[in-house]
Copies of this chain bind each other. A is one copy, B any other.
């Protein structure tokens, strides 16, 4: 694709739209942050960053970019892990972080309408103050909602409540040609033409730019209790998960973790975790409207864990304990990152019944490839995060070993009927693994879909399925 290089006339035009030079960044005013995301080593600067404030601004800029074949990359908080928000072809970056307003709370329809730059933690706090609940709970609380929708972010409550997709009712989207359209709405059911709203969810900013989102919310469960359950071995811990799923109690979350990672988190946060004596842990959460209701559920599950060899059942029923446990859990990624010189990650998802085999396999790679790998993840939904650590390796050794480890992990995931990404997306960094995982016929259709939205391919080029 031959993109037009930004020239003075283009910048003048954009200034005429925005009319606020503080929201237009160029050259040295573009902070280094804008050249990368949270993890991937995909690095590329945009020529221009525009901090947009309205759908109309997004529309005017896209219309101009489309007519002039200038690449445009949307960006929220830049907390992605796969390079989806990096401006590979330079051009214009649209930073949505100033579009951070709550537009409407509709208690009759139990929906909230927000701009895309609202942060996950802001949204959670806003609804919880009002006795309401936005269930998706990805670890990175400073991600924007626009970013969460673009990756179909999952998070820790997926076992019981599902993922971001399940809470997106309607989207306002600016198409690559600048047209503003609505997909879905406040309606609960919809069989009105192809599932455009669902196609936008998880499309990583390649099909259109989300400028408004109407989200489903629920009444806030009145009570939550967590169980931290030490096991003598990871195998026993994870082997217990299918039995929990089969029992009729549905926990909100079923996470697994190991001592090593807990100790990283203790160091990173400067705070003790309630227990670090065992090799492996399950962390479970139950919610409901009364303590009795929850107790009935968790007592049954605790019994199952004991029968499977759990060393103890640590019940956390105060807000303080809850916070300390889940804060530690939320800090795992940063904590592991802090424990090494550089790292890369996999976010594979496998059928729940294969979690044990997948985790054991990843463990074995430590010896086979001779590289440190730490993992934790959502045992309840089969989504594992494994971090491959560079430590003291030379650049050359690292390249070779990380590739070897990745190839093996993704290969094993395919063998277990798993998928490349459970919640972090494909972006730029995981494209080659997507290509290996999908049927070429599927890739061809995905590219056709991209063209249907963006015939000139100006929006977030080289991402997801696009070479």
- Residues on A facing B (Cβ under 8 Å): 106-110, 151-154, 158-159, 162-163, 165-166, 175, 177, 179, 181-183, 185-196, 198-199, 201-203, 207, 219, 222, 242, 245-246, 248, 250, 289, 293, 347, 349-353, 378, 381-383, 417-426, 434, 437-439, 441-442, 445-453, 464-465
* B196 in contact with A442 (CB, 8 Å): yes
* B189 in contact with A108 (CB, 8 Å): no
On chain B, the residues within 8 Å of A417 by CB distance are 185-187
* A352 in contact with B185 (CB, 8 Å): no
On chain B, the residues within 8 Å of A110 by CB distance are 245-246
On chain B, the residues within 8 Å of A191 by CB distance are 151-154, 202, 347, 421-426
Q: What are 25 A-B contacts defined by CB distance under 8 Å? A: A108-B352, A158-B188, A175-B445, A179-B441, A181-B439, A181-B441, A182-B439, A185-B418, A185-B419, A187-B417, A188-B382, A189-B349, A191-B424, A191-B426, A192-B420, A192-B426, A193-B464, A194-B449, A194-B464, A196-B445, A198-B201, A199-B449, A448-B448, A448-B453, A451-B452
Residue of B189, B422, B426, B448 touching A193 (CB-CB under 8 A):
B426
On chain B, the residues within 8 Å of A159 by CB distance are 188
Complex Cα distance, B419 from A196, in Å, reads 13
* A193 in contact with B108 (CB, 8 Å): no
Complex Cα distance, B421 from A382, in Å, reads 35
Complex Cα distance, B272 from A137, in Å, reads 49
Residue ID in chain B nearest A383 by CB atoms: B189
* A188 in contact with B248 (CB, 8 Å): no
On chain B, the residues within 8 Å of A418 by CB distance are 185, 187
Q: Looking at the assembled complex, report how far the CB atom of A103 sits from the nearest CB atom of chain B, in whole angstroms.
A: 14
Q: Looking at the assembled complex, report how far the CB atom of A55 sits from the nearest CB atom of chain B, in whole angstroms.
A: 14
On chain B, the residues within 8 Å of A163 by CB distance are 189
- 10 closest A-B pairs by beta carbon, nearest first, are A448-B452, A108-B353, A198-B198, A186-B351, A188-B381, A189-B422, A219-B248, A192-B419, A179-B441, A154-B189
Complex Cα distance, B445 from A179, in Å, reads 12
Residue of B107, B152, B194 touching A446 (CB-CB under 8 A):
B194
On chain B, the residues within 8 Å of A351 by CB distance are 106, 108-109, 185-187
Residue of B179, B195, B450 touching A202 (CB-CB under 8 A):
B195
Other than the given A175-B441, A193-B464, 14 more pairs (CB < 8 A) read A108-B246, A108-B353, A154-B191, A181-B441, A188-B383, A191-B347, A192-B420, A192-B437, A194-B203, A199-B199, A219-B246, A219-B250, A222-B248, A248-B289
Complex Cα distance, B289 from A250, in Å, reads 12
Complex Cα distance, B439 from A196, in Å, reads 12
On chain B, the residues within 8 Å of A349 by CB distance are 187-190
* B382 in contact with A187 (CB, 8 Å): yes
On chain B, the residues within 8 Å of A153 by CB distance are 191
Q: Looking at the assembled complex, report how far the CB atom of A71 sits from the nearest CB atom of chain B, in whole angstroms.
A: 20
Q: Looking at the assembled complex, report how far the CB atom of A214 sits from the nearest CB atom of chain B, in whole angstroms.
A: 10
On chain B, the residues within 8 Å of A219 by CB distance are 246, 248, 250
